[in-house]
Amino acid sequence: VQSKLPAAKEIARKIRQFSVLVDSCEGVDQLIAFMESQGDGVKFGVYVDIDNGYHRTGFDPHNDQSIEAVKRLVACPHLVLQV
């Protein structure tokens, strides 16, 4: 995730709206840290991948760490939760 964020930001500068998909607590932490370090007003939309029961990808909706990670996304002024 971390290595792709600078390229994603360059795309976001060139188009009107840009969104990323986050599927892990680690991804949330990396995304927030990157966006907060930039300080240039660029925002990303964020989609949250929810584990639908197959346990392959996504946040477990019954896991407290997952819930807290999504709350951190919502609170970050550089990110806009997409629904």
Short-list 3, 56, 55, 5, CA closest to 46 = 5
| Strands laid side by side in the 19-22 sheet | 19-22, 44-48, 79-81
Tokens standing for residue 69: 């990670």
Q: Which amino acid is at 16?
A: R
pLDDT one-digit tens code per residue, 25-74: 999 999 999 999 987 888 999 999 999 999 899 999 999 999 999 999 99
pTM of the model: 0.86
